[in-house]
Amino acid sequence: MRAYDSLYIDGQWVPSTGTGTIDVINASTEEVMGSIPEGTPEDVDRAVAAAKAAFDGWSQTDPAERAKVLQALSDGIAARNQEIAETITGEVGMPLMLSQIIQAGLPQAVSGTYVGLLDEVQWEEEIGNSLVVKEPIGVVGCITPWNYPLHQIVAKVAPALAAGCTVVLKPSEVAPLNAFILAEIIDGLGLPAGVFNLVSGVGPVVGEAIAKHPDVDMISFTGSTRAGTRVSELAAPTVKRVALELGGKSANIILDDLEGEELDAAVRKGVGSAYLNSGQTCTAFTRMLVPADKHDAIVDIIRDEVENVYTVGDPAANGGRLGPLISDAQRTRVRSYIEKGVEEGAQLVTGGPEQPEDLETGYYVKPTVFAGVDNSMTIAQEEIFGPVLSVIPYEDVDDAVRIANDTQYGLSGGVWGADKERAQGVARRMRTGQVEVNGGGFNPLAPFGGYKMSGVGRELGKYGLEEFLQVKAMQR
C-alpha cells in the first residue's frame, strides 16, 4: 500500500490546499493499492509560480550541466527498476516481466538519450547579419496518460528539462504512483527548487487549470482525442504552444507476396503488435489488412496464435501474455465494442465479451478476433483500447492503402512484404507518423507523433527536444 499525502512543489513535499484523496486500484485484484492527494487549482497556481520563478536560472544553465541531470535521472530510474515495474504492473496490469523491460526500462533509456542529444543541438547559427539562437520555451505543463505512465512522463519531462524548461506535471489519476516514485528520484538530484513540480488530481480540475494557466508557456498532452481537443480549447486564449499525442487506429498491411513461413511469421508478429499491454496501446495494430484470397488461411493462423500463445493471467506472477485492463470502466467499454462488432455482422473468430472462466477477479477481457470486417464498421473506425483485432480483406495494394488511410487517425502502422523495397513504397503512402516495415523495432531516437486527429508535434529524439525550444533572431 503506497499512500502519498503530499504534492511536490518548489522543491518540497507539501500538503494540498484541498482535503480530498484519490484511491488507486490494482487492476488484477480490484483492491486499493495506494492513494494520492486530489489536487486543486490553487495547487496548480503554487506549482506554476514556482516553475516560473525557477525558469530564469535553470534556462541559463550550461547544457552540459543539464546533461548530467539527465544521466542521473536515468541512473535513478534504473536503480528502482523492480519497484517501478511492480508498481505499474499493479496499476496498469502489464505482466511483470514486460513491465521491467517496457514500463521501467524504456523510461530509463529515453532519459539517457538526451545526454548525447544535448551535444548535437545547434544552439546558435549565423544567417547573414542575424544570430539565430534556440532558447527554452518556458514553463511547460505535462499532462500524461495511464497506459505507459512513466514512459509518457519521461518522454515529456526529460526533453523539457534538457531544453532548459521548468515543468509542472499532472499524471493520470488512474496510474499515478509511479509519478511519485519519479518525483522522489528527482528530489534526490539536487535540482533548483521549482524546476520540477508534481500536482496530482483529476483532469477536469488540475489538468484544465494547467492548460488554461496564463503563466504556462506550453502544454504537452498525451491522451484521448476528445481530451486533446479540450486541452487545445483551454489553451487557445493564452496562445500557448500545444503538443498533442492522441488516439490511433493503426493498420498492419500483410502484402500479397508473402507465402509460407514468411506469411506465418508476419501474421503472428502482427497479433503481438495488436495485443501489447492488452491492446491498451495507442499505436496498437488493431486492423490487420490481408489479401482477400488469403483471408481464411490467415485467420486460421491468427486463431492458432491467439488461442495457444496469448493466454490471460495474473500479471504479477507472469501468469499470461495478457493481464487485465486498467479499470472496470475500460473493461465495460471494450466489451461494448465486442458486442457492437457482433451486432454489425463481423465474424467472431475467438474471444468474446465474457469474463475469462478462471479469472473471476480483475478487469480481464478475452483476446478477441473479428474476421471479414468492413472498414466502415465501428470496430474498424473507433479506438477500442483493448485486445480486439479486426481482420479486413483487400483486393489489391491500392485498395489496401485506401483502407489503411480511411480513418480519422494517423499515429502508426505496419507493412509486411517479401520485397522490402515494395513494402517501403507502400509505407510511404500511409498517412501516419510511424510505420514499421517487416517488423522494424521501436527506436527511442526516432520522432513519435501523428497525422490528422492523432496529434500535433513530435516526441522522442532530437525532434522531441526541439518541441521545447523557441527560435530568436538577433540582427547585428
Give catalytic residue positions.
Answer: 245, 282
Q: Which helix (H) or strand (E) holds 136?
A: strand 130-136
The b-or-e profile of 94-127 (16+ CB within 10 A means b, else e) is bbbebbbebbbbbbbebbbbbbebbeebeeeeee
Nearest Cα to 142, choosing from 152, 127, 129, 132?
152
Whether the CB-CB separation of 415 and 253 falls below 8 Å is answered with yes
CA dist 97 to 94, 292, 325, Å? 8, 37, 17
Q: Degrees (nearest 5) of the Cα angle 376, 243, 11?
A: 135
Tell me how far apart the alpha carbons of residues 64 and 69 are, in angstroms, rounded to a whole number.
9
Whether the CB-CB separation of 442 and 459 falls below 8 Å is answered with no
* Strands lying side by side in the sheet with 287-291: 347-350, 368-371, 388-394, 287-291, 251-254, 413-416, 436-437
CA 474 to chain centre: 38
What secondary structure letter does DSSP report for 276? G
Tell me how far apart the alpha carbons of residues 90 and 271 are, in angstroms, rounded to a whole number.
24
Nearest Cα to 121, choosing from 139, 138, 136, 134?
134
